[in-house]
Structure 1
Amino acid sequence: MCVADTANSKWFRERFEPNVPILLDSTNSVLNVNVSKWWMGLQHSENPGNYTEVVDQLFSFFPDKDHYSDASPDRCRSCAVVGNSGNLLGSHYGPLIDLHDFVLRINRGLTKGYEKDVGSKTTHRILYPESIMDLDNSTHLVLLPFKILDMRWLLSAFTTKNITYTYIPVASTIKANKDKVMILHPEFLKYVYDKWAEGHGRYPSTGFITLLFALHICDEVKLPF
């Protein structure tokens, strides 16, 4: 799918908002009332913590900058969104996947031992605490924060390592490059929920959110992989 080719689609235009904040940083972290109410409704804890304090702590430790605001007619960034379907086995898609500028993988999808079918390249791994895995130094950890505790866990995993439980036991630490950490914006999650999932369910799936993330940071998106 080429994002530019969708310009003549009324269905797509009604849903796609190019200016929605995709990734959280200190300059865009204030949530409007509707976003805050929806996102806070996803919390498992009755006392999830102070969002503003957590954001301040996050961006005193992780990169605090705007990402992917370089869209232009001259940019042609290709992305592969690679899910975890068993249909990939025997596909021999690996070399095709690795040709893309960005390869986005979801949760704990394996590559080792399956390179001929799923490729070996990973530029972004979309994760939340309950689906965490160690990453190599070149991969962006993209946190999907369903709750404030997810953000607190992320900071703890790189520092104090004292959070070991969310609503289930979770790893207290992770091997990853702190300078490549990104956090999806709660407003982006609500936008996917409202505009694309049309309010079905409690929140969109990780795979669906990853697909929309790719549509916003890339010019050409290939799936299904």
Structure 2
Amino acid sequence: ASEVVDQLFPLFPDKKHYSDAGPDRCRTCAVVGNSGNLLGSNYGPLIDFHDFVMRTNKGPTEGYEKDVGSKTTHRIVYPESAVDLDNSTHLVLFPFKILDIQWLISAFTTRHITQTYTKVPSTIKANKDKVMILHPEFIRYVYDNWAERHDRYPSTGFLSLIFALHICDEVNVFGFGATSDGIWHHYFDKTLTSYEISVHAGRFENETINRLQQENKILMHKGWT
């Protein structure tokens, strides 16, 4: 692990991101999940109005701008969900395993890693100066303190939301949860998912998100479908 870190820091300098907290700052953030409840929502302009717009995994904007917006300041991924980014977007890697960090180094240098537990892109388009890697301890912290050690990984969406709570002053959440008739699917495909049997602690995450809403820590936008 220490060898990987030694390779990492020369490639992606350890900048002090978002350490400017203070009473005068009001950073607004939209955390945009991939739920089918975004379809028909017309949330696009509202989402784009935020200072930061965080999107997870492969969730596209092209063709869905009216409902999901077009601005992306942070794209939160792991190797199996990585997509090409434009020059103004931060690539935020959530590393669940050492191989995830090795893949990131490879994607910007030797391009030799093409396989994890599935096929992954050997390289991606992204601005090297805007790469951020979430410390594995943060994932551990979320698991211990927010997910209360439920026996599964925190989902990317849930981690993104907790990440946003740490760096934003106002957090608005879009595209989380099922559609109003109880269907769990993405706005860009029709893959149905039961959060009861997924690898994440879905029900518990849902309850935690609802509690954050009740305590006015976040504002949930439920969508229209």
Q: TM-score range by the shorter chain?
A: 0.7 to 0.9
* Contact map agreement 2:33 2:55 (CA 8 A) in 1: yes
* Contact map agreement 1:111 1:120 (CA 8 A) in 2: yes
Asked if 1:112 corresponds to 2:62, the answer is yes
Shift of 1:207: 0.5
**Among 140, 144, 154, which residue is 2:104 paired with?**
154
Find the residue that maps to 2:88 and give its secondary structure: coil
Q: Distance in 2 between matches of 1:202 and 1:187?
A: 16
The runs of 4+ residues in structure 1 deviating greater than 3 Å are none
**One-letter code aligned to 1:217:** I
Give per-residue Cα distances to partners, 1:96-127, cap 9 Å, x unaligned: 00000000000000100110100000000000
Name the structure 1 match of 2:12: 62
* TM-score, normalised with respect to structure 1: 0.77
**One-letter code aligned to 1:189:** I
Asked if 1:144 corresponds to 2:100, the answer is no
Asked if 1:133 corresponds to 2:83, the answer is yes
1:191-202 → structure 2 map (5 Å cutoff) = 191-202=141-152
**One-letter code aligned to 2:110:** T
**One-letter code aligned to 2:63:** G
Give per-residue Cα distances to partners, 1:118-164, cap 9 Å, x unaligned: 00000000000000100000000000100110000001001100001
Asked if 1:83 corresponds to 2:33, the answer is yes
* Contact map agreement 1:77 1:218 (CA 8 A) in 2: yes
| Structure 1, 56-65 or 156-165: larger mean CA deviation | 56-65
Q: Distance in 2 between matches of 1:122 and 1:73?
A: 26
Q: Distance in 1 between matches of 2:72 and 2:21?
A: 22
Identify the structure with bigger relative contact order (alpha carbons < 8 Å, sequence gap 6+): 1
Q: Distance in 2 between matches of 1:62 and 1:140?
A: 12
1:145-184 → structure 2 map (5 Å cutoff) = 145-184=95-134
* Contact map agreement 2:38 2:174 (CA 8 A) in 1: no
Q: Distance in 2 between matches of 1:58 and 1:224?
A: 33
Name the structure 1 match of 2:159: 209
Find the residue that maps to 1:69 and give its secondary structure: coil
Asked if 1:220 corresponds to 2:170, the answer is yes
Q: Calculate percent identity across the aligned residue pairs.
A: 78
Shift of 1:201: 2.5
Find the residue that maps to 2:10 and give its secondary structure: coil
Corresponding residue pairs, total: 175
* TM-score, normalised with respect to structure 2: 0.77
Shift of 1:224: 2.8
Find the residue that maps to 2:166 and give its secondary structure: helix
Q: Distance in 2 between matches of 1:224 and 1:173?
A: 29
Find the residue that maps to 2:13 and give its secondary structure: coil
Structure 1: give runs of 5+ residues left out of the alignment.
1-50
Structure 2: give runs of 5+ residues left out of the alignment.
176-225
